[in-house]
Amino acid sequence: MPVPVTVTQDTFRSSVIESDVPVLVDFWAGWCQPCVQMEPALDNIAAAYDGQVTVAKVNVEEERGLASMFQVMSIPALMVFQGGKKVVELHGRQSEADLSAVLDPLVSA
């Protein structure tokens, strides 16, 4: 079963920017309760969109440079990248249905 991949400053370009499929990036931290509560939804999205979308996680405590680069001011912050560009940005806890509503048009295009 596919699971979200951990992305670091060193792997961001290859995992996200150069990806052939859309990438949903979750900027999160272990102390953030809404972030932790979203984990099952992100796991389900990773499984449901296997091969169509990559789900990536960036721990903002460990990857402050990435958080700063994308101006993450509050978490959870979710960004969808397609073709190397950020195409969607969401803030706060999102349901699996909310995430699907954002991803469906990208994978059917």
Q: How far is CA 45 from the centre of its chain?
A: 10
Q: Which of 2, 19, 29, 32 is catalytic?
A: 32
- Catalytic: 32? yes
Do the Cβ atoms of 76 and 92 come closer than 8 Å?
Answer: yes
Question: β-strands 54-59, 23-28: how paired?
Answer: parallel
Among 32, 22, 29, 25, which residue's Cα sits nearest to residue 7? 25
How much is the pLDDT for 1? Answer: 66
- Catalytic: 108? no
**How many C-beta neighbours within 10 Å does residue 104 have?**
13
pLDDT at 108 > cutoff 90: no
Domains, the chain, in order of start with CATH, read 5-101 (3.40.30.10)
Mean pLDDT, the chain, whole residue set: 95
Q: How far is CA 25 from CA 30, 99, in A?
A: 16, 11
- The model's pTM is 0.95
How much is the pLDDT for 3? Answer: 86
